[in-house]
Structure 1
C-alpha cells in the first residue's frame, strides 16, 4: 500500500589500480591503458544501463551489480567472489553489512536484502517498475525509485516515483511525470534519480526534473527532498539545453556538482546560484570525493575549478566514479569494465571531520523527532539549517 506524504588542493599519491570483473590485476603504480572492453553475458549497452557499484562502509569491499548476480571485490587483494542470482540492476551497502539490491527483469523485479556471507536473500518489495533502492542513514528504512515509460509518436511519456519504504508500508515522497524528447527504448530515463546519492550532511536528495511550461522555455529543475520532512522544494534551475543526468554533493553538503551539455563542470550552491568551473575538464558524471574538493569527472581526478589533477582513464567522458567512504580508493566504471584505483588519501583536518560528523548525527536525531511528529516543521527547518552551516568549510 502506498500512502501520500503528510502535508503539514590536493595532491595525489601513487595510484594502485586493479582491473576488476575477472580481468586480473594491472601493474601497480601504472595508469591502466585502454584495453579490449569485455562485455559479460547480458550486460547490454553500458550507456543505456550503466553498471552499478557500491562500497562497504569500511571501504574494504566493492559490490558490483551484474547480469548474473553480485560480484564482491576485495580492495586490498583484488580477490573476487560472485553471489549468483537474478540480474542485479542496482546495489547498495547497508550499515549492518547487508546488501540492498534491485534484481530481476520485467514483472519479476524486486528489492531484496542480501547477506554477503551466506547468500541468504530476504524480499523487501516487489514490482515491475522498481528501478533502484538505497538504504537511509542509520536505520532499517530505504528509499526506492519506481519508473514507468510509454513510447509514443512524439517522444516518451515518463513517470518517476520516490518512495520511503518501512516494512510493508511505502510512503510516496515525490512523483514527477513528463514527456521527454526521445523514443529510444534503451535510454535509462531514471538515471538522475537512481544516481541521486543523499547529501552527506542532511541526507537530502536532489532530483533532476525536466519541465516544459506552455508559454516559457523548458528548464531543468533540481528538487530537494528531505527524507525526514518530505515537502520537496526547488533548489535550483538551469536551461534545458544545459542537460545533466547525474549530480553529486560536496562533502560539506553545500554544493551540488553536475555537468553542462558540453560536459563542463557546474556547481549549484544553496543560494541557487550556479558557478561554471573555468577549467578544461569534461565529462558526464561528476562525483565529489567524500573528504575534500576533488572530483572524478570524465576519467580524471579534477579540482572544483575543473582543472585536471591526474588523468586515470584517457578518453572516457561517459565513465562513472565511486569513491570509497574514506576517499582513499576510487572505482571507475567505463565501457563494461570496473577499474579500481588506490592511494588517493587526502583526509580533511580532524576538526573539519568532527564538525561534519557532529552535524550529521544531530540532523539525523532531529529528523527522527520530526518523523515522529514531536517537532513542528518550522523549528525543525531552522535548526536543520543552523546545523548545515556548522558543517560548511570556508573555501
Structure 2
C-alpha cells in the first residue's frame, strides 16, 4: 500500500513530553477505561469457563492462539478499511527492520506467559500476586531509562502506594499453618526468583512495545498491531503444538470449546487491542493503573457473583488504589511551584537536545517552557 502523500518530516525540535500522566484526558480515557473493563472481565470469564472439577475442557494454549488470531484479523480488517477510506503510508525504507523489531516483545510475552505456569507450581497464587506487584516499580524505572520520561516525587510515591494497595488486596485472612507453611517455605526460593524475573519481563515487554508503537507517531496503529500479532500467532502456535499437539491432531484445535470458552477468547483479544491503544496514545503507567483498577473491580464483583466475603483487605486496597490514581494524576501546578515546573522542563529540554546532538538553546524557548497539555 503506497501513500498519497509522504509522511511530514520530523521537526528538529520535538515537543516536550508531558511530565504528568494523561490517562484521564479525553483522548486517552476511553482506551484506559476499555482496558480496565476487559481486564476486569478476563478472570471472571475464565472462572465461568471451568468445568465441574475446576479444570478446563479446552486447551489453554489453543485459546491463546485463537485470541492472537482474532486480534490479527480485527487489526487487518481495520487497516484495510482505513486504506480504502484514505490512502495511508505503510511501507518505508526500514519496514523489514521494523517488522523484525516486533519479534522482541512477542518473544518476551511468550516466555512470560509460559513462565507463569512454572511459578504457580512453586508458590501459591497469593504469593505470586504479591510478588507480581514488583512490575509496578520495574515499569517506573524502565519508563525513565528507556523512554526518557521523568516522574516527579509525587508520582513515584503514587506508584509505591499503588503497589501497596494491590499487595494488601492479596493478604490472606488466615495465615497458613503446619505442613502448608513448611511447603511454602521449601518452595519459596525458586518461586520468588521466577516471580521477580516474570515481573521484570512483563515490564520490559510493555516498555519495548510502547517504544515501538510511538517510534513513528504518524504510523497506523492497525498496521503496527498486525506486525505484532503475526509474531504472536507464530510463537503461540508453536507453543500450542508442543504442549497439546497430540490432542489437537486427534480431536482438533477446537475440542472442548464451549460458549463460555469462546467468550474468553473474544475478551482476551479485545483486551489486547485496548492495551495496545493505551500504549500508543497514553503510556505504560496508564496500563499499570488500568490493571490495578481492574483487579479491584474483579474482587468487588466476585463478592456478588461468587459470594466471596468482603474483607478489610479489600476495603483498604480499594482506598489505596483510588488514592494512588488521583495522586498520580494531580495537575502539576498542584504538586509543584511554577519555578519547579520551569526547572524540570528546562532539564528535559536540555536532555533531549543532548540526545539529538543539538544545542539546548534551540529547544528551550518561551513557547515550550509552558507544560504541554497532553
For Structure 1 versus Structure 2, the TM-score category normalised by the shorter chain is under 0.3
Q: Which has the higher strand share?
A: 1
Larger relative contact order (C-alpha < 8 A, sep ≥ 6)?
A: 2
Larger C-alpha radius of gyration, 1 or 2? 2
What is the TM-score when the length of structure 1 is the normalising length? 0.24
Give the TM-score normalised by structure 2. 0.25
